[in-house]
Amino acid sequence: MAQDVLCEVSNCKFWEKGNRCSAEEIYVVSHAGEQASDQEETDCKTFDPVH
């Protein structure tokens, strides 16, 4: 399992300095159906915007 998760979405509440993700778990889904064929067909459902 990955020890470090990198993220460039600085308006997410889990974003930390150095483009690190501080979420305890990451949930990624395919929006292209059951099988994604490239990264553009996936989304991070862990994203939570900073308010």
4-13: pLDDT as tens digits: 999 999 999 9
Establish if 12 belongs to a structural domain. yes
Instruction: Using a pLDDT cut of 90, give the percent of the chain over it.
Output: 75
Question: Over 90: is that where the pLDDT of 3 sits?
Answer: no
Give Dmax (Cα) for the chain.
34
Nearest alpha carbon to residue 6 among 41, 29, 23, 45: 23
Q: Which residues of the chain form beta strands (DSSP E)? A: 15-16, 20-21, 28-30, 42-44
Q: What is the pLDDT of residue 32?
A: 76
Q: Of the ranges 30-34, 36-40, 43-47, which one carries the lowest mean pLDDT score?
A: 30-34
Look up the domain containing 8 and give its range.
Answer: 1-29+41-51
Question: Over 80: is that where the pLDDT of 2 sits?
Answer: no
Establish if 51 belongs to a structural domain. yes
Q: What is the pLDDT of residue 31?
A: 85
pTM: 0.80
Q: How many domains does the chain have?
A: 1
